[in-house]
Amino acid sequence: MSKPAKSQWDFGGLIIFLSLSLLAAEGRAESWRLIWSDEFNGPAGTGIDTNKWTAETGGNGWGNREWEFYTASPRNAALASNGCLEIVALKLPAHTFDASYGEGEYSSARLVTGKKFLVKYGRIEARIRIPAGQGLWSAFWMLGEDNAMGWPRCGEVDIMENVGKEPDTVLGSLHGPGYSGHNSLNTAFHLKNKERFADNFHVFAVEWEENEIRWYVDGQLYERRTPANLPAGEKWVFNKPFSLLLNLAVGGKWPGYPDQTTRFPAVMAVDYVRVYQR
């Protein structure tokens, strides 16, 4: 049998490669089933869906010496005309509380699914545009349902964290007993060419399975963690249900504090939050 010309082999190989790629993509898409979401569609000014979220309230630093007071007001979290949820940090006194933290000037929102929705394993993603600015701290994250036992023993998964003074960088992190705070397991993802996360929406996600969590930005895998990554003798606390959280903090030991360059209102816009399982 005569050997086909090289160009014929190249063309045939390309067709096979494309066909296999399409099949693989279809297989990946079909492997996830949407089980919960909030698309944040509704009249502008509408508050959060209280069947899905609870607005946690309070100040006193939240363990990080933050300056904001979280409220349940639609001024701080409401649907916008562009079909997004806007979490808004305002330079506006919301409450009288401990001035030793520097609080009193700022209000914002912290939303949690709590006992309204818990998830164990799956693909958890959100499409978000985060604000830039000194002293701003945006986050999309998860806490173990047994958080009454105390942090970090309950476990924390940061799907996306950003400090506004680093507008091209987000972090994916794990916090647990023996590896929390400054000693957490974290990896940074950087945009190229001095792009800023504040300029466009991006999709932040984890794919979470038993004894493994993978982090993605816009579909790009940038980190994978398993129990083998833990400090010797420490416990993997991520094989149990977790709740979802969205918040925009102002100030704190890690991000620092607002200065004259920080613009308010600062807006974290969330297009959707979706949870898939196999």
Active site residue 161: yes
- Active-site residue, 209 included: no
How far lies 107's CA from each of 135, 216, 277, in Å? 13, 30, 35
The 8-class DSSP code of residue 62 comes to G
Helix, strand or coil for residue 27?
Answer: helix
Query: C-alpha distances in angstroms, 99 versus 59, 64, 66?
Result: 10, 15, 11
Interatomic CA distance for residues 74 and 204, integer angstroms: 25
Angle, alpha carbons 20-23-27 (nearest 5°): 135
Is residue 267 a contact partner of residue 131, using CB atoms and an 8 Å limit? yes
Q: Which one is catalytic: 161, 209, 212, 223?
A: 161
Structure tokens at 44: 């502008």
Cβ 94 vs Cβ 278: under 8 Å: no
Q: Which of 105, 125, 156, 207 is catalytic?
A: 156
Catalytic residue annotation: 156, 161
